[in-house]
Structure 1
Amino acid sequence: MKTMKFALCGGVLAVLAACGNTPTERAATGGLGGAVLAGPAGAVVGGTVGAATSP
């Protein structure tokens, strides 16, 4: 069950990190999504993923 929860959270983070037109917007939405799902550590990971997924 834990594996499924982590996979779902990862999928949600990837979707939220893809929102926005600029790297700043993507980092902000990724950080916000990460914070909601996993707290401060999730915000850091989400912001990093969001910035890294910019085209």
Structure 2
Amino acid sequence: MSIRTLILAVAACGSLAACGDTLGEQALGGAAIGAGAAAITSGSLAQGAAIGAAGNVAYCQLNPGRC
């Protein structure tokens, strides 16, 4: 993995804290960010969207005051 890919992946993961007010908004926001990160790193868009959605929902549900 190149350093550029690694930096972009870390930046995308950091932006997963873009929570929504409802569970659906949280999932949609995470999916969009995950798919975008996958597109930048030449990964699977579906897999990136699934991981992004799950990660964002988990973060927002565990840390509601930070969203």
| Shorter-chain TM-score above 0.5 | yes
TM-score, normalised by the number of residues in structure 2? 0.61
Root-mean-square deviation (Å): 1.6
Structure 1's unaligned 5+ residue stretches are none
In structure 2, the residue matched to 1:6 is: 9
TM-score, normalised by the number of residues in structure 1? 0.70
Residues in 2 aligned to 1:32 and 1:8: alpha-carbon distance in whole angstroms = 14
Decide which structure has the larger Cα Rg and report it. 2
Structure 2's unaligned 5+ residue stretches are 39-44
Number of matched residues? 52
Identity across matched positions, percent: 27
The runs of at least 4 aligned residues of structure 1 exceeding 2 Å deviation read: 2-6
